[in-house]
């Protein structure tokens, strides 16, 4: 551990993980719980792995306050596979589903759903270059469900209140990049899903939280790996699950509980995001945030500099200062700071200091 050198990791995903979690995984890598094997080498049917997956689920239920009429699944295929599984399982033949389009990810979800059946766009902010939340909705009261993306990772737009949908229409949410970043009321949702690699673990596992009546909608004859009913009833153990990734998300859930749970996590995340947003707002226009203030994400902070040349230089110099992963997505351009749960206050302060110093030298 003497050569331990960690950078400040602002990558959008896979993203930064808590150092304690990595150290814990390292400490028990060669001999997991006295088995003489790593967790990657033991049977997914063993009592040791059973404890891993059951504890991960119990800790997540406690963190998010998941009611007992919801199932938790640990699946593969990323959040992207959920874009297809949701319509396959929840939208009956001939029915239509509503989509709220607020950025690249909700647009990708819409595109997949459209390949498989009828969709209706209930709102879109594309004409504003996805820099805000919708101010009005045109919901179909007969929609099979409404899908929205709580945090748009690329455009840095986050919902802090759920869209108010017509009575009885199930609300489905992609919460990949703000998963377990703050408390939410799970009972408002019919289904929530998150690819783990943004905020909750390594890539390879996607968490799906689905109400029992949604799982009951699964039609007959879906291929088994696309079938919520089979996957939920088997406790995510119909086939070999991504066992190492599940072990890692379990360690992250335990860490989040130790940090004080999601209310404490929100406080920590608000403090960090404010440090970076203040650096933007105090720059007299040198740095320009992409998102309107009311919709600013606590997780992903896209911003521009006065020119593309300066943006190139900024990324290069930041890297020399161990501030990594700040280049923005090509669709928005500029920079993006992802300040997920495991990013420290110290990391946010180092970035803010660097931004002020860079402006002094180039402004
Ligand atoms: C990254 C991301 C996805 C895609 O996740 P994969 O696990 O790579 O399929 C979907 N939605 C959001 C909000 C994301 O940030």
Q: Which of 11, 13, 156, 203 to mutate for ligand 1's pocket (most ligand atoms within 8 Å of CB)? A: 13
What positions carry a catalytic annotation? 105, 174, 198
Residue closest via CA to ligand 1's atom 10 equals 79
The predicted pLDDT at position 172 comes to 99
Select from 2.60.40.10, 3.40.50.720, 3.40.50.300, 3.90.1150.10 the CATH code of 260-362.
3.90.1150.10
Identify the pLDDT of residue 4: 75
105 lines ligand 1 (CB under 6 A): yes
Task: Please report the pLDDT score of residue 1 as a whole number.
Answer: 45
Length of the chain: 363
C-alpha 301 to ligand 1 mean position (Å): 16
Cβ–Cβ under 8 Å, residues 199 and 249:
no
CA dihedral (66, 69, 74, 76) positive or negative: negative
- Closest atom of ligand 1 to 152 CA is 13
User: What pLDDT sits at residue 3?
Assistant: 60
Q: What angle do CA 297, 299, 300 make, to 5 degrees?
A: 75
Residue segments in the chain with a per-residue pLDDT below the cut of 70: 1-3
Cβ neighbours for 27, distance < 8 A, ≥ 6 positions apart: none
Bridge partners, residue 98, by sequence: 120, 146
Q: Which of 227, 248, 251, 221 is nearest to 239 (CA)?
A: 227
To which H or E segment does residue 176 belong?
A: none
82 lines ligand 1 (CB under 6 A): no
SS3 361: helix
Number of Cβ within a 10 Å radius of residue 266? 16
153 lines ligand 1 (CB under 6 A): yes
List, in sequence order, every residue forming a beta bridge with 71; answer none if it has no partner: 210
Nearest CA to ligand 1 atom 8: 78
Binding site membership of 174 for ligand 1 (Cβ less than 6 Å) = yes
| pLDDT (0 to 100) of residue 235 | 98
Q: How far is CA 142 from CA 167, 168, 313, in A?
A: 10, 9, 52
| Closest residue to atom 5 of ligand 1, CA basis | 79
The per-residue pLDDT for range 188-245, each reduced to its tens digit, is 999 999 999 999 999 999 999 999 999 999 999 999 999 999 999 999 999 999 999 9
User: DSSP letters of 149-207?
Assistant: ESEETTTTEE-SS---PPTTPPEEEE-GGGTTSS---GGG-SEEEEETTTTTS-TT-EE
176 lines ligand 1 (CB under 6 A): yes
- 149 Cβ closer than 6 Å to some ligand 1 atom: yes
Q: How far apart are the first and last CA of the chain?
A: 40
Per domain, the residue ranges of the chain are 22-258, 260-362
What separation in Å is there between the alpha carbon of 198 and the centre of ligand 1? 8
Any ligand 1 atom below 6 A from CB of 198:
yes
Class of domain 22-258: alpha beta
The Å distance, Cα 203 to ligand 1 centre, comes to 10
């Amino acid at each position: 551990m003497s050569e331990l050198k960690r950078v400040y990791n602002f990558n959008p995903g896979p993203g930064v993980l808590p150092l304690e979690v990595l150290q814990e995984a390292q400490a028990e890598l060669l001999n997991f719980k006295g088995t003489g094997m790593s967790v990657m080498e033991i049977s997914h049917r063993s009592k040791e792995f059973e404890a891993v997956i059951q504890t991960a689920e119990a800790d997540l239920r406690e963190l998010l306050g998941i009611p007992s009429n919801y199932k938790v699944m640990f699946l593969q295929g990323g959040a992207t596979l959920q874009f297809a599984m949701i319509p396959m399982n929840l939208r009956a033949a001939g029915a239509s589903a509503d989509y709220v389009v607020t950025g690249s990810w909700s647009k990708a979800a819409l595109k997949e759903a459209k390949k498989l059946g009828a969709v209706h766009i209930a709102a879109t902010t594309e004409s504003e270059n996805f820099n805000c939340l919708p101010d009005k909705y045109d919901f179909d009261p007969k929609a099979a469900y409404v899908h929205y993306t709580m945090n748009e990772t690329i455009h840095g737009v986050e919902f802090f209140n759920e869209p108010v949908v017509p009575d009885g229409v199930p609300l489905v949410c992609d919460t990949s990049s703000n998963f377990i970043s703050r408390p939410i009321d799970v009972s408002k949702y019919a289904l929530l899903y998150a690819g783990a690699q943004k905020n909750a673990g390594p890539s390879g596992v996607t968490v799906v939280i689905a109400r029992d009546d949604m799982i009951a909608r699964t039609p007959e004859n879906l291929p088994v790996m696309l079938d919520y009913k089979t996957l939920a009833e088997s406790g995510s153990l119909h086939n070999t699950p991504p066992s190492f990734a599940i072990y890692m998300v379990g360690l992250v859930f335990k860490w989040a509980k130790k940090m004080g749970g999601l209310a404490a996590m929100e406080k920590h995340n608000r403090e960090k995001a404010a440090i970076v947003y203040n650096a933007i707002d105090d720059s007299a226009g040198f740095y320009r945030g992409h998102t309107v203030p009311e919709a600013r994400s606590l997780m992903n902070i896209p911003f521009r500099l006065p020119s593309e040349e300066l943006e190139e230089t900024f990324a290069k110099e930041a890297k020399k200062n161990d501030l990594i992963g700040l280049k923005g997505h090509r669709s928005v351009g500029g920079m993006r700071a992802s300040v997920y749960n495991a990013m420290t206050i110290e990391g946010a302060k180092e970035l803010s200091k660097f931004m002020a110093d860079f402006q002094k030298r180039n402004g």
